[in-house]
Amino acid sequence: METTPSLTADESRLVLLVRPLLPEFAAALAGRYRFVLAADADASAAAEARVLLVLGLAPVTAEHLARLPAVELVLGTSVGVDHVDLDVCRSRGLTVTNAGAAFADDSADYAVGLVVGVLRRVSAADAYVRRGRWAADGDYPLATKVSGKRVGIVGLGNIGSRVARRLAAFGCAVSYHSRSPKPSSPYTFVPSLLDLAADSDVLVLCCSLTEETKHMVDREVMESLGKDGVLINVGRGGLVDEPELVRCLQEGVLGGAGLDVFENEPAVPPELFGMDNALLSDHRAVTTPESFRGVLEVVTANLDAFFSGRPLVSPVQL
CB atoms under 10 Å from CB of 268, counted, come to 17
Backbone angles phi, psi at 274, to 5 degrees: -95, 10
Backbone angles phi, psi at 260, to 5 degrees: -100, -10
Q: Which residues contact 150 (CB under 8 A, 6 or more apart)?
A: 172, 173, 175, 199, 200, 201, 202
Distance of CA 219 to the CA centre of its chain: 22
- Active-site position among 24, 220, 265, 290: 265
Q: Strand 150-154's sheet: what is its strand order?
A: 188-189, 173-177, 150-154, 202-205, 230-233, 256-259, 278-280
Q: What is the DSSP string of 16-48?
A: EESSPPPHHHHHHHTTTSEEEEGGG--HHHHHH
- Active-site position among 236, 242, 244, 263: 236
* Packed helices 122-130 and 104-119: angle between N→C axes, nearest 10 degrees: 60
Catalytic, 283? Answer: yes
Backbone angles phi, psi at 175, to 5 degrees: -125, 165
- Active-site position among 92, 133, 283, 297: 283
Catalytic, 265? Answer: yes
Q: Could you list the active site residues?
A: 236, 265, 283
